């Protein structure tokens, strides 16, 4: 049986400080072009392959543009779709990127440049004429037109196609050259915080937290055995603890949940319209030998080239991952006021048998921008991914799947794995070989993931490694994150991971997306045990305004004391990406500790000021965007730095600033986010 050792520490990271994130107009991540493109001037990570590059060249040549300056501008506009940040440049259904309409420094804006050089030049099949505005003007296809034929003035033209500024920090408009070049001279990192301060609000260990959808100061907490509670969050500096009645859970699902060290209630999610419909969802494990309702198809089956008899178990797929729907209807006339849920399952959303007992994920989230349910599924276990299920396009294991739980499945969807429908923009519309549920693939054990509340396109997941590398991935539509070809950046033993892979992905290494950040086990394994990363959230609260403007990371030293399993974090680091968008991080050590006026006693590591948190299970975020750490010793909230005597020039006394806009700064004014991760030490085998 797997045994957890106490916490080594926290990892906080910060991806892509200025731009939203590298993403193509298809919502997919860019891929690496080995030799660059022949026509468009892009190398490295790009959103075009050679076929798309050739199509753009033919489109450009068919325009028959006589003026070389205009031709150069139009070529750059056409090729902008190949930019690794093109997903941030184009409006929905637009063929033209947003053109920078504010002059960078004292120079002419790019939108003005396009107008001045092209206004009287005939362009056949002009991309401006095929826009919605051009179509409204009545210009037929396959004709030549000038900008002055379509637009009365430069002002009208730039009102239609302009967007944002053109300065060195421009993130939302096209200035005539690849976006990654815009910030190449920006090398000054944000100033790291002096420290991170925590307060202890509860003394019980929970594994999940979800803010109440009504926007109040309430939140749901759940434990591994299968109980969910509704709690009231105290205000800052009130001296009050978490308002929760352990004797009266919101709902008790323990009779449905298989509970063990690596099994249990793994995730909870409340419908975006919970206050009207009262629907909520639970992700848990069940045992088919003890539960009559634990029945589903094994994830190791003939469709994926996997033989259950070769798993090495007398009871293959004895344990299952389950996602089920429940309701509060009937317990209250108004769902938003309900304090009890019904433990009776309303609908089985998904059931899938697990080949092995480890690496099964289980978190569930509703997308903040689309309302669909995202389900994180591990690869089903086994050393080196013996059946390479994470790369198998016919398997759901090792994937993040995205489903519609609001629409009844159609008759022709009966081959799905559960009671749900498929969103029409899932990747299978572009890749018919991919199971339609799949949003991303190539993950080993995605334990905790999160969306940025201010930029929903940021979807980050921590993926637990096997025994060498822990990683943090930016998840995009159809992205392949490499397992079990790679563990992080490290190749996996190909002989052990190539069995029964007749239907595996045909991805090449250029299709794989490597971690946004991570660490090698050799960097932290100073003593016994192995490390496993778990996920966190973007820090969007203004409670600690200095941490809002920081990039945090962790360097670890463990202190192994005989067999008492006392391991503590000894250093927290602030990591800055220098220069911006380079992928190169530098770190500065900072402390973290407990507030001197914590509502509940908060112990420290002996001979240090560091908080002794014990096991770390997960993280949480409330409706005010404050971040919580869920540990075996209780619930901790990130609070004002002054409460730990950490200096922060942006903090206004000891009062919490109103959540919303990021704190102002006289220094670097980049849009900055925090990503909090937690690290566990394990013995036996990895999750």
| Domain residue ranges in the chain | 1-18+189-218+513-687, 31-181, 264-356+359-444+477-512
Give mean pLDDT, residues 202-213: 96
Which of 111, 89, 54, 98 has the alpha carbon at shortest distance from 180?
89
Residue 473 or residue 683, greater confidence:
473
User: DSSP assignment of 543-604, as one string?
Assistant: SSHHHHT--EEE-------TTS-------EEEEEESSTTS--EEEEEE-EEE-TT-SB---B
d(CA 618, CA 447): 9
Q: Answer yes or no: is pLDDT of 653 > 60.
A: no
Q: Are 9 and 556 in contact (CB under 8 A)?
A: yes
- Percentage of residues of the chain with pLDDT beyond 90: 44
pLDDT, residue 142, reads 58
Fill in the DSSP letter of residue 140: P
Which of the given ranges, 153-167, 303-317, 505-519, 644-658, has the highest pLDDT on average? 303-317
| The pLDDT of residue 553 | 38
Tens of pLDDT along 216-241? 999 999 999 999 999 999 999 899 99
Is 80 exceeded by the pLDDT of residue 631?
yes
Q: What is the pLDDT of residue 436?
A: 92
Rounded Cα distance between 361 and 283, Å, is 10
Q: Are the CB atoms for 384 and 492 separated by under 8 Å?
A: yes
- Degrees to nearest 5, angle at CA 33 with 27 and 38: 110
In angstroms and rounded to an integer, the radius of gyration of the C-alpha atoms of the chain is: 26
Residue 131 has what pLDDT?
A: 53
Does the pLDDT at position 658 exceed 50? no
How high is the pLDDT of residue 274?
97
**Helix, strand, or coil (residue 148):** helix
Per mean pLDDT, which range of 349-358, 507-516, 568-577, 602-611 is the poorest?
568-577
Q: How many CB atoms lie within 10 A of CB 64?
A: 12
Q: Is 644 helix (H, G, I), strand (E, B) or coil?
A: helix
167/160: higher pLDDT = 160
pLDDT for residue 525: 52
Phi-psi region of 512 (alpha: psi -120 to 50; beta: other; left: phi over 0): beta
Structure confidence at residue 643 (pLDDT) = 93
- Average pLDDT on 506-522 reads 73
Contact 446, 433 (CB under 8 A): no
pLDDT score of 600 = 96
d(CA 24, CA 575): 27
Element of type H or E holding 520: strand 517-520
Residue 553: name the closest of 512, 515, 585, 511 by CA: 585
Range in 169-173, 302-306, 521-525 the model is least confident about: 169-173
Q: Among the listed ranges 43-47, 204-208, 481-485, which one has the minimum average pLDDT value?
A: 43-47
**259 confidence band (pLDDT: 50, 70, 90):** very high
CA dist 284 to 254, 280, 349, 350, 501, Å?
10, 13, 12, 11, 28
Contact of 294 with 352, CB cutoff 8 Å: no
Q: E strand or H helix at 617, and its extent?
A: strand 616-621
The more confidently predicted of residues 95 and 190 is 95
Q: Is the pLDDT of residue 570 over 50?
A: no
Task: Flag the least confident range among 243-247, 492-496, 537-541, 552-556.
Answer: 552-556
- Give the pLDDT of residue 579: 46
**684 against 593, higher pLDDT:** 593
* Cβ neighbour number for residue 526 with a 10 Å cutoff: 15
CA dist 161 and 154 (Å) reads 10
What global pTM score does this model have?
0.80
DSSP secondary structure letters along 171-190: -SSB-SS-GGGTTTT---PP
pLDDT value, residue 30: 82
> Exposure pattern of 425-463 as b/e (b: 16+ CB <10 Å)?
ebbbeeeeebbbbbbbbbbbbbbbbbbbbebeebbbbbb
Concatenated DSSP letters for 388-448? -GGGBTT--TTEEEEEBSSSPPPGGGTTSSBS-B--TTSGGGT-TTS-TTEEEE--S-EEE
Q: Which of 129, 13, 2, 136 is nearest to 63 (CA)?
A: 129
The per-residue pLDDT for 641 is: 92
User: Under 8 Å CB-to-CB from 542, ≥6 apart: which residues?
Assistant: 548, 625, 656, 657, 658, 659, 660, 661, 662, 663
pLDDT of residue 337: 94
Distance of CA 476 to the CA centre of its chain: 8
Q: Is 70 exceeded by the pLDDT of residue 399?
A: yes
Q: What percent of the chain has pLDDT over 70?
A: 74
Residues 62-69: contacts with CB under 8 Å, at least 24 apart: 62/124, 62/125, 63/123, 63/124, 63/125, 63/126, 64/122, 64/123, 64/124, 64/144, 65/121, 65/122, 65/123, 66/121, 66/122, 67/117, 67/118, 67/121, 69/117
The whole-number pLDDT of residue 592 equals 77
**Average pLDDT value for residue range 99-128:** 87
The alpha carbon of 149 is separated from its chain's Cα centroid by a whole number of angstroms, namely 45
pLDDT at 211: 97
Give the least confident one: 80-89, 166-175, 372-381, 640-649.
Answer: 166-175
Pick from 348-352, 481-485, 516-520, 605-609: least confident: 605-609
């Amino acid at each position: 049986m797997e045994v957890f050792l106490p916490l080594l520490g926290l990892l906080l990271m910060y991806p892509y400080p200025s731009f939203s994130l590298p993403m193509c107009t298809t919502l997919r991540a860019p891929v690496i072009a080995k030799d660059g493109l022949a026509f468009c001037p892009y190398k490295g990570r790009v959103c075009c392959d050679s076929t798309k590059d050739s199509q753009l060249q033919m489109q450009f040549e068919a325009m028959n543009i006589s003026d070389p300056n205009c031709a150069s501008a139009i070529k750059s506009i056409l090729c902008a779709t190949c930019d690794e940040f093109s997903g941030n440049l184009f409006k929905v259904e637009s063929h033209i990127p947003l053109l920078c309409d504010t002059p960078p420094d004292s120079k002419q804006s790019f939108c003005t440049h396009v107008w001045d050089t092209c206004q009287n030049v005939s362009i056949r099949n002009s991309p401006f004429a095929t826009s919605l505005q051009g179509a409204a003007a009545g210009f037929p296809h396959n004709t030549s037109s000038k900008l002055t034929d379509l637009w009365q003035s430069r002002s009208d033209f730039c009102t239609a196609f302009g967007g944002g500024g053109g300065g060195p920090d421009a993130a939302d408009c096209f200035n005539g050259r690849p976006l990654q070049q815009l910030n190449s001279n920006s090398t000054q990192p944000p100033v790291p915080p002096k420290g991170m301060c925590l307060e202890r609000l509860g003394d019980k260990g929970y594994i999940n937290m979800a803010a109440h959808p009504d926007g109040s100061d309430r939140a749901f907490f759940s434990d591994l055995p299968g109980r969910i509670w509704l709690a009231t969050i105290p205000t800052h500096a009130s001296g009050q603890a978490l308002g929760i009645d352990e004797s009266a859970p919101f709902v008790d699902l323990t009779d449905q949940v298989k509970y063990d060290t690596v099994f249990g209630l793994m995730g909870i999610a409340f419908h975006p319209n919970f206050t009207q419909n009262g629907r909520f969802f639970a992700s848990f494990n069940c045992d088919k030998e003890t539960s009559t309702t634990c029945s589903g198809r094994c994830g190791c089956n003939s469709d994926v080239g996997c033989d259950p008899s070769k798993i090495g178990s007398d009871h293959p797929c004895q344990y299952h991952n389950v996602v089920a729907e429940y309701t509060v209807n009937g317990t209250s006339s108004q769902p938003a006021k309900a304090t009890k849920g019904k433990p009776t399952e309303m609908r089985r959303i998904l059931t899938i048998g697990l080949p092995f007992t480890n690496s099964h994920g289980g978190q569930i989230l509703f997308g903040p921008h689309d309302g669909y349910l995202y389900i994180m599924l591990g690869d089903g276990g086994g050393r080196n991914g013996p059946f390479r299920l994470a790369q198998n396009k016919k398997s759901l294991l090792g994937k993040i799947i995205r489903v519609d739980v609001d629409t009844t499945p159609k008759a022709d969807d009966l081959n799905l794995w559960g009671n749900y429908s498929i969103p029409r923009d899932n990747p299978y519309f572009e890749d018919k070989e991919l199971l339609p549920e799949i949003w991303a693939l190539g993950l080993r054990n995605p334990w905790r993931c999160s969306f940025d509340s201010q930029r929903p396109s940021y979807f980050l997941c921590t993926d637990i490694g096997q025994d060498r590398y822990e990683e943090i991935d930016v998840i995009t539509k159809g992205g392949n994150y490499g397992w079990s070809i790679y563990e992080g950046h490290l190749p996996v033993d190909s002989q052990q991971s190539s069995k029964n892979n007749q239907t595996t992905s045909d991805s090449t290494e250029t299709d794989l997306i490597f971690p946004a950040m991570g660490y090698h086990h050799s960097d932290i394994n100073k003593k016994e045990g192995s490390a496993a990363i778990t996920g966190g959230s973007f820090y969007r609260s203004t409670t600690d305004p200095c941490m809002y403007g920081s990039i945090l990371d962790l360097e670890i030293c463990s202190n192994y004391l005989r067999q008492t399993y006392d391991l503590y974090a000894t250093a927290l680091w602030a990591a800055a990406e220098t220069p911006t968008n380079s992928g190169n991080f530098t770190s500065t050590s900072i402390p973290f500790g407990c507030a001197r006026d914590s509502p509940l006693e908060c112990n420290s590591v002996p001979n240090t000021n560091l908080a002794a948190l014990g096991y770390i299970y997960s993280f949480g975020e409330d409706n005010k965007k404050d971040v919580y750490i869920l540990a075996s010793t209780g619930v901790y909230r990130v609070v004002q730095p002054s409460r730990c005597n950490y200096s922060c020039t942006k903090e206004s006394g000891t009062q919490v600033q109103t959540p919303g806009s990021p704190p102002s700064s006289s220094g670097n004014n980049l849009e900055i986010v925090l990503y909090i991760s937690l690290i566990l030490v394990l013995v036996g085998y990895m999750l």
